[in-house]
């Protein structure tokens, strides 16, 4: 390290001594610097900065300038007590060194936190561990992370997701008042600052009155809150509470902690993408399994009736059976032909839906007429299994604007499923009126649906019994087709079911 001092007058000898003291401190830090200073510059700096000496320090290996302000009263240069002057400047230099040391320590901790946040461990554990590491170092009382979610009706809703607290400080993570807090109007100022990527800091006593109650309840004296951005959108914020002292954050510390907020944002992005990849992988694997099951079902649903038809054709062509036996065989062939046609129609419907060419023809439809028609059509089929098919109607004319053919298709699939999976009891068809819509239902007393399948039952290729030894025919397309029809008609479908008690399928359509 070199000090190049030009034209230093005798009146500034003491300054030279102080520079030597500073030189020793900088040498301890093992940083190579050179200080260029002249008598003219000293006078200029003293005049310009009002009794402060400005020393410019330039690294040899970069163009970055470091600036140090030494609070040196010009009168001290000719002070009669040099030792007192030395002690005064020593204190200033030591204090400055402490500031630099603390900034370096915070940088080191934040760097460690960055490694933790971007590790492959669980996101929640990573964030909690990071807050704990930082909290134990910066000596604040509480550190937390909040998420902001925009609601079209309520505006921004703010909820606490993570928290670290110093021993003896009240824990707020389970505080219901900090979940889904309406940001507006009380905290409108905060939200505007966050959306502009600006922080909130200061003493609570200086904050607007509407902001103080919620903060004072937590015993907060001063606060620093930094927004967290994800892909240019404000996701939430990280906050630092001090329950004893007023605001004393330095600009350098705030700049470093802002990198922590950025690291949390990157960790959340990484976790989201990882989760999306895992879900996509699981979905692809599940889809592959469903496709295999679907192909097996389709193979069964096409080959079984075809084999039956071909077999009976061969029998009738080779032997002259009595007329009553011929009628029986022809009836079986007819049943299997309808089964085959139903499977092919389902496949065609799925293909149209996938291609986006399924259209709807909206007309005025009498809903009680439709229910009576499907009741009459399936009454005998239900009776063959000793099932009672019944309706719950209101004997009045109610019309809705919808696609009649699709409504028939929806009832057909739901009633056929009810007959298929019921061995006893009754099947009821009815509807309920509401101000904005009509809800239809098909209720059975069949085997029911397991709770873990209720969410997926409307997905394509899903059946309650997907095993190779299943006792019921069908390709697993009916309910997915029903849902697609209702999506086109502006309706929705859901189910309530209990094992061995029965199921009720509801679907609603707008008036």
In a domain, 406, yes or no: yes
Query: pLDDT for 70-87, tens place per residue?
Result: 433 333 333 344 444 445
Domain boundary among 215, 249, 283: 249
Edge to edge, the sheet with strand 65-70 lists 2-6, 33-38, 53-59, 65-70
- Taking each helix axis from N to C end, the angle separating 478-489 and 323-355, rounded to the nearest 10 degrees, works out to 50
Question: What element of type H or E holds 507?
Answer: strand 502-510
**In terms of domains, do 94 and 230 share one?**
no
| 123 and 52 co-located in one domain | no
Q: Is there a domain that residue 310 lies in?
A: no
Question: Both 58 and 134 in a single domain?
Answer: no
Give residue 346's pLDDT band: very low, low, confident or very high (50, 70, 90). confident
Q: Where are the alpha helices (DSSP H) in 177-322?
A: 188-195, 212-216, 251-318
In a domain, 287, yes or no: no
Domain range for 157 = 118-249
Q: Provide the CATH number for the domain around residue 393.
A: 3.30.565.10
Mean pLDDT, residues 307-335: 84
pLDDT tens figures, 182-224: 887 888 899 999 999 999 999 999 999 989 988 988 889 999 9
Q: How far apart are CA 396 and CA 411, in angstroms?
A: 20
* 234 and 128 assigned to the same domain: yes
| Bridge partners, residue 227, by sequence | 237
Output the pLDDT for position 357.
81
Which of 221, 249, 277 is the last residue before a domain boundary? 249
Per the domain annotation, does 241 fall within a domain? yes
**What whole-number distance in Å separates Cα of residue 509 and Cα of residue 344?**
27
| Position 428 pLDDT exceeds 90 | yes
Tell me, yes or no, whether 84 and 133 share the same domain: no
Would you say residue 463 has pLDDT above 70?
Answer: no
Instruction: Answer yes or no: do 84 and 159 share one domain.
Output: no
**What would the pLDDT profile of 12-22 be if each residue is shown by its tens digit?**
444 444 444 44
Asked if residue 324 is part of any domain, the answer here is: no
Higher pLDDT, 23 or 390: 390
Residue with tokens 């065609």: 348
Angle at 510 between CA 504 and CA 511, to 5 degrees: 115
What H or E segment, with its residue span, contains residue 222? strand 222-230
How many domains does the chain fold into? 3
Buried b (16+ CB within 10 A) or exposed e, 355-391: eeebeeeeeebebbebbeebbeebeeebeeeebebee
Q: Is residue 149 part of a domain?
A: yes
Same domain, 95 and 177: no
Residue 225, in any domain of the structure: yes
Residue 359 predicted with pLDDT over 70:
yes
Q: Point out the domain boundary residue: 233, 249, 265.
A: 249
485 vs 172: CA distance, rounded Å:
48
pLDDT band at residue 24 using 50, 70 and 90 as cut-offs: very low
pLDDT score for 259: 84
81 and 129 housed in the same domain: no
Same domain, 96 and 161: no
**Which residue is it, tokens 């922080």?**
199
Would the pLDDT of 131 be above 60?
yes
Q: Looking at the structure, do residues 94 and 174 belong to the same domain, yes or no? A: no
Q: 133: how many CB neighbours lie within 10 A of its CB? A: 16
62 and 126 share a domain? no
Average pLDDT for 368-385: 90
Q: Are residues 90 and 206 in the same domain?
A: no
Any residues with CB less than 8 A from the CB of 4 and at least 6 apart, and which? 34, 35, 36, 37
pLDDT one-digit tens code per residue, 101-120: 767 777 787 788 888 887 87
Residue 306 lies in a domain: no
């Amino acid at each position: 390290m070199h000090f190049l001092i030009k034209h230093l007058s005798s009146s500034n000898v003491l300054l030279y001594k102080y520079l030597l003291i500073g030189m020793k401190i900088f040498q301890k830090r093992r940083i190579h610097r050179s200080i260029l200073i002249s008598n003219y510059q000293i006078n200029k700096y003293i005049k310009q900065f009002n009794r402060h000496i400005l020393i410019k320090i330039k690294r040899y290996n970069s163009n970055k300038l470091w600036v140090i302000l030494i609070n040196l009263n010009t009168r001290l240069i000719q002070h009669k007590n040099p030792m007192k002057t030395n002690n005064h400047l020593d204190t200033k230099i030591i204090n400055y060194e402490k500031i630099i040391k603390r900034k370096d320590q915070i940088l080191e901790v934040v760097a460690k936190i960055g490694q933790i946040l971007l590790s492959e461990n669980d996101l929640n554990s990573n964030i909690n561990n990071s807050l704990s590491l930082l909290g134990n170092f910066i000596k604040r009382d509480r550190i937390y992370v909040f998420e902001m979610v925009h609601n079209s009706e309520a505006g921004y809703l703010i909820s606490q997701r993570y928290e670290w607290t110093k021993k003896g400080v009240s824990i707020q993570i389970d505080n219901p008042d900090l979940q889904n807090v309406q940001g507006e109007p009380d905290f409108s100022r905060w939200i505007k600052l966050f959306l502009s990527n600006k922080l909130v800091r200061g003493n609570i006593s200086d904050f607007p009155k509407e902001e103080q109650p919620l903060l004072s309840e937590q015993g907060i004296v001063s606060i620093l809150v930094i927004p967290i951005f994800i892909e240019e959108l404000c996701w939430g914020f990280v906050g630092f509470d001090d329950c004893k002292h007023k605001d004393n954050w330095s600009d350098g510390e705030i700049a470093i902690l802002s990198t922590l907020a950025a690291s949390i944002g990157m960790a959340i992005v990484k976790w989201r993408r990882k989760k999306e990849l895992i879900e996509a992988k699981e979905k692809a694997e599940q889809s592959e399994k469903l496709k295999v099951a679907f192909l097996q079902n389709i193979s069964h649903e096409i080959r079984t009736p075809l084999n039956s038809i071909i077999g009976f054709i061969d029998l009738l062509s080779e032997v002259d059976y009595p007329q009553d036996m011929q009628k029986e065989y022809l009836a079986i062939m007819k049943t299997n032909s309808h089964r085959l046609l139903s499977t092919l129609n389902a496949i065609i419907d799925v293909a149209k839906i996938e291609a986006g060419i399924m259209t709807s023809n909206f007309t005025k439809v009498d809903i009680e007429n439709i229910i009576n028609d499907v009741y009459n059509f399936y009454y005998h089929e239900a009776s063959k299994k000793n099932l009672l098919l019944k309706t719950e109607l209101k004997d009045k004319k109610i019309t809705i604007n919808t696609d009649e053919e699709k409504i028939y298709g929806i009832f057909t699939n739901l009633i056929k499923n009810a007959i298929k999976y019921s061995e006893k009891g009754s099947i009821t068809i009815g509807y309920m009126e509401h101000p904005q819509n009509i809800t239809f239902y098909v209720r059975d007393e069949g085997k029911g649906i397991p709770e873990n399948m209720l969410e997926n039952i409307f997905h394509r290729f899903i059946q309650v019994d997907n095993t190779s030894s299943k006792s019921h025919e069908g390709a697993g397309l009916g309910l997915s087709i029903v849902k697609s029809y209702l999506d086109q008609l502006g309706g929705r479908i859901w189910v309530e079911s209990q094992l061995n008690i029965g199921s009720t399928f509801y679907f609603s359509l707008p008036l």
